[in-house]
Structure 1
């Protein structure tokens, strides 16, 4: 596998951006892939949480090792602290990631598939919200996974002032009392997708039972499932911590429709 740090210019945001890319390649140290095996390869867009960036998944999990034997690309972008949202202060982060980034990936890495059935998105915490938001916003992704997602699908969302001040939240979303039912509410987006699209993404969610977002997930996810989504929702002991996300990202890889082959299962 190759791991690439890619600098590119975002026309949407008007500034330079970075993404990390894990890309399968032909090598004596890799499985007996042919050039044909590495064409039209599936891709997982892997999203970070509030304290992270495009490098954090590579630094704090085993993602590169986990996919070493599997022909899948991993694209890890950054949204800074913008919650995968077109902010009220005029920065269209959602458009940059949802529309512009896949086109940039297609230009730079033509071997990565653009087919819906081979495009997936997953994230943790803020990135779990982002993964569902992106999957509900258009027909690009066939699978979406949220790990410890801050899904904001209920009026009792945890006290935001413990993370940032009110001015920060209003800069992202505007009037926070109006978020539910808006374009930034995952349940509203899911309802709109059900009404407008024939194909719905398959969903996976995990939350630790000691996570402060546990009740948020228990409230939000059944509402999404009731709309007709194929949702796999799992819980287990755990807190809001990389120890658990490192374990759960492998569960996501097992769930995706790819030929996932961890090293320890090789003959």
Structure 2
């Protein structure tokens, strides 16, 4: 596997951006791979939470080690603190990540698949919201996974830590009284989506976001979404996300090679 740090210019945001990419390559570590196998490679977009950036999955988890003998590329972008959203202050992060970024990835790495059935998205906390938002709000991704996701309705109702200023939320989402039914409301997106991606969600039993997951998941099932929902003892911490990202890899249709089978 190659690990690449990519700087590129975003026309949508009008600024330089960064993404990290784990890219399958021919090497002595995977002698059974051929050049033909490294075409039309599946892609997993891996999204960060509120305190992270494009580096955080690499720093806090074993993601590079876990995929080292699985033919899948992992793209780790940043949304800053913008919640994968077209903000009211004029920076369209949703458009930049949902449309511009995959097109940029395709142009820089033509060996990566652009097929919906081979494009996936996953994230934690804010990134869990982002993963479901990209999965439900576009037709680009066939699988979307949330770990400890902020699967919230109106964010002013206390599902996110209370110390976050009200002006921050309105800067991202606008008038919070109009959140429900908007393009930022995951349930509204789910109702409009006609492609119905496969969904996965995990949440720790001691996580402060568990009530939002418990409330949201049945509503998706009522809309006939195929969603795997799992819980276990756990808090809102990297210790658990490091473990559960492997569960996501097992769930995805990528022929994941578990670590115990590696030499």
Is the TM-score greater than 0.5? yes
Q: Which category describes the TM-score, using the shorter chain as reference length? A: over 0.9
> What is the aligned partner in structure 2 of residue 13 from structure 1?
13
TM superposition shift of 1:203: 0.2
Change (3 A) 1:163 1:36: farther
Query: Unmatched 5+ residue regions in structure 2?
Result: none
Q: Is the 8 A contact 2:85 2:172 kept in 1?
A: yes
Matched, 1:63 2:70: no
Counterpart CA distance in 1 for 2:160 and 2:33 is: 48
**TM-score using structure 2 length:** 0.97
Q: Is the 8 A contact 1:121 1:144 kept in 2?
A: yes
> What is the aligned partner in structure 2 of residue 181 from structure 1?
181
> What is the aligned partner in structure 2 of residue 151 from structure 1?
151
Q: Is the 8 A contact 1:7 1:17 kept in 2?
A: yes
Counterpart CA distance in 2 for 1:88 and 1:214 is: 28
Matched, 1:217 2:213: yes
TM superposition shift of 1:264: 1.5
2:98 is paired with a residue of what secondary structure? helix
TM superposition shift of 1:29: 2.0
> What is the aligned partner in structure 2 of residue 95 from structure 1?
95
Moved more, 218-227 or 15-24: 218-227
Counterpart CA distance in 1 for 2:72 and 2:13 is: 28
Q: Is the 8 A contact 2:155 2:176 kept in 1?
A: no
Counterpart CA distance in 2 for 1:79 and 1:178 is: 23
> What is the aligned partner in structure 2 of residue 261 from structure 1?
257
Change (3 A) 1:259 1:233: same
Q: Is the 8 A contact 1:200 1:229 kept in 2?
A: yes
TM superposition shift of 1:266: 3.7
Counterpart CA distance in 2 for 1:53 and 1:188 is: 27
Counterpart CA distance in 2 for 1:266 and 1:14 is: 43
> What is the aligned partner in structure 2 of residue 235 from structure 1?
231
Q: Is the 8 A contact 2:19 2:77 kept in 1?
A: yes
Moved more, 73-82 or 256-265: 256-265
> What is the aligned partner in structure 2 of residue 130 from structure 1?
130
Task: Please list the CA deviations of residues 63-114 of structure 1 after superposition, one character each: whole Å capped at 9, or x if unmatched.
Answer: 0000001000000000000000000001000000000000000000000000
TM superposition shift of 1:154: 6.3
> What is the aligned partner in structure 2 of residue 43 from structure 1?
43
Counterpart CA distance in 2 for 1:157 and 1:46 is: 27
1:74 is paired with a residue of what secondary structure? strand
2:95 is paired with a residue of what secondary structure? helix
Q: Is the 8 A contact 2:128 2:147 kept in 1?
A: yes
Counterpart CA distance in 1 for 2:232 and 2:216 is: 17
Count of residues in Structure 1 that have an aligned counterpart in Structure 2:
263
What do you get for the CA RMSD once the two structures are aligned?
Answer: 1.4
Counterpart CA distance in 2 for 1:106 and 1:236 is: 37
**TM-score using structure 1 length:** 0.95
Query: Unmatched 5+ residue regions in structure 1?
Result: none
